[in-house]
Amino acid sequence: MWPFEAVLLVYALKILTFYVVDRLHRGKTDKKEHSYQATPTVAILLPMYNEEKVVVKTIRNLLAIEYDKYCIIVIDDGSSDNSYALVDKHFAGDPKVKLLHQNNAGKSAALNKGVKTSSSDIIVTIDADTWVRPDSIEKIVGYFNEAEVAGVAGHIKVGNRVNLLTEMQYYEYEALWDNDRALADAINGILMVPGALGAFRRSALEAVGGFKPEMIAEDTELTLRLLQSNYVLRNARDAVAYTEAPDNLKMFFRQRVRWTAGLMQGLLEHNRKLLSHTNRFLRYLVLPMTWCFRIIFPFFLPIVDYYFLYSIVFLHHYEAFAWWSAILLTEALTHFIILKNNNERVGVFKLVVMQRLYRHLLFINYWFILRRWFNGTLFHWNKVARKGNVTMEPLYNKKKFRNTRIRI
C-alpha cells in the first residue's frame, strides 16, 4: 500500500512544516503594529477591458474608502463595449477619479501606463470585479512602515457564493491560497502579490522594471522579480477584498489554465536565480512545496483516487479503505482547523466531498493546458466573463448576522 503511505507521509510533513512556520509567524506579527507613521499618497490602478457590467459599481466601492490621500486611475485597454463611456458619464467630475485610454495592449501595459501617469508613493492594483472594505487601503499601507517592504498582498475572498463551484473556491482561497501566503510571510517566501488587491512601493516597482507584458500572470512574475532582488514582501490579512469567482465550468477552466500556466512560466523564468537566493527557506521550503502542492500533486492525486477505487474492488479491500480514510480525514481536518481559526464555518464531511470534487476539476484543468499547448494558444489569455454579483461580508458579528450581505 505504498502509494497511500507516501501521500499520508507528505501531508504529515506539510502539517508539521506549517505548524513550525505558524509559530514563527505569530511571534513576528504579534509584536508589530501596522500603522503608517506618515500618510503616503496612494494611486489605485484599475485596468479594464470590456467591464461594463461591473466597473461602475467597483469605482463606487473604491470611492467609499476611508483614507485621505488616494486617487483612482482607471485605464481602459481598448474596450469594445461601453466601459469607457460609462466611467466617463458617471465620474467625469469626480476629482478622485482619472480615466485613461489606450489601444488594446494587455493588462500589463495598462498597469505600466497607470504607474507612469501617477506620482504616488504607493501603487495599489485592483481588478475591475473586486470590492474592498472601507479600511483596506489604510490597513495595507500600514505594512509599508517597514522601509524594506516593497510589496503587500491583500486578503482575497470570494464574493459570489452562488453555487457549489463558487463555494469550493471560497474555501480554497481561505484554506490554501491565503493561508499559504500568511505562513510564507514569516520567512519572506510570498510568491504572489495578487493583482486583485496588491500594493507596491513605487521606487521598488520602478527599480525592477514594472510589469512585463509577455507574462500571462503578471502579478506572479512581478512578485518573483521582487523576491530575487531581495525585497521584502508582506501579507495583509486585515486588508480584505471580495472578488468574483467563475460560477460555471467554462470560465473556471479558462481562469485556472491562466493561473497554472502563469505560475509555471514565472517559476521557470526565474528558477535559476531563485534557487541561488540567499533565503534558504525560499530555496529549500517554499519553492519545493509550491512545485509539489500547486503543480505536481493536483495532477497525480486524482490518479491516486482511481487507484484507491481499483484497490478497494480488486486488491486489498478493507486495508485500502482504511488507508484512504486516513488520508481523507487528514486533509479535511487540516483544512477544517485552518478555516475554524479564520472564523469560517464548514463541516468536515462537506469538506471531504468538496475536496474530492475540486481535485478532479483541477485534474481536468491539466488536459486543457495540454490541449492549448499543442494548439499553440497556451499563453493567450482569454478573458473571464463578469456577472457583477459580488457581495461583501458584514464587518460585525458573523455568527449573529452570518446570512447578511452588503450590496452596493
Question: Mean of the pLDDT values across residues 245-251?
Answer: 92
**pLDDT band, very low/low/confident/very high, at 407 (cuts 50, 70, 90):** very low
- pLDDT above 70 coverage of the chain, percent: 85
Domain 34-252+262-280: give its CATH code. 3.90.550.10
Q: Convert the pLDDT of each residue in 52-88 to its tens digit.
A: 999 999 999 999 999 989 999 999 999 999 999 999 9
The C-alpha angle with vertex 254 and arms to 174 and 382, in degrees rounded to 5, equals 125
Judged by average pLDDT, the poorest of 25-39, 84-98, 266-280, 339-353 is 25-39
Q: Indicate if the pLDDT at residue 162 is higher than 70.
A: yes
pLDDT of residue 400: 37
Confidence of residue 401 (pLDDT cuts 50, 70, 90): very low
Question: Dihedral of CA 13/367/258/163: which sign?
Answer: negative
Helix (H, G, I), strand (E, B) or coil at 32: coil
- CB under 8 Å to 59, separation ≥6 — which residues? 46, 72, 74, 87, 90, 91, 97
Most confident residue range from 227-236, 312-321, 376-385: 227-236
pLDDT at 6 (0 to 100): 65
Q: What is the pLDDT of residue 26?
A: 58
CA distances from 186 to 31, 67, 101 (A): 13, 28, 40
Q: How confident is the model at residue 408 (pLDDT cuts 50, 70, 90)?
A: very low
Q: Position of cell 484554506?
A: 175
- Judged against a pLDDT cut of 90, whether residue 166 lies above it is answered with yes
- Average pLDDT (279-285) is 87
**Per-residue exposure over 81-101, b if at least 16 CB sit within 10 Å of its own CB, e if not:** eebbebbeeebeeeeebbbbe
342: buried, middle or exposed (CB in 10 Å: 19+, 13-18, 0-12)? middle
pLDDT of residue 405: 41
Which pLDDT score is estimated for 73?
Answer: 97
User: Are the C-beta atoms of residues 218 and 212 closer than 8 Å to each other?
Assistant: yes
Q: Is the pLDDT of residue 282 over 60?
A: yes
The counts of H helices and E strands in the chain are: 15, 8
Could you tell me where the DSSP H helices lie in 133-248?
Answer: 136-142, 164-172, 179-184, 202-207, 218-228
Reported as a pLDDT band with limits 50, 70 and 90, residue 1 is: low
pLDDT, residue 296, reads: 85
Q: What is the pLDDT of residue 349?
A: 81
At 158 the pLDDT is: 94
Query: What pLDDT, on a 0 to 100 scale, did the predictor assign at position 16?
Result: 65
In the chain, CATH 3.90.550.10 covers 34-252+262-280
Average pLDDT, the chain: 84
In whole angstroms, give the CA distance from residue 164 to residue 119: 43
- Closest Cα partner for 158 from 175, 142, 141? 175
Once rounded to an integer, what is the mean pLDDT over residues 331-357? 82
Q: What angle (nearest 5°) sits at the alpha carbon of residue 382, between those of residues 381 and 383?
A: 110
Lowest mean per-residue pLDDT among 66-70, 323-327, 404-408: 404-408
Model pTM score? 0.86
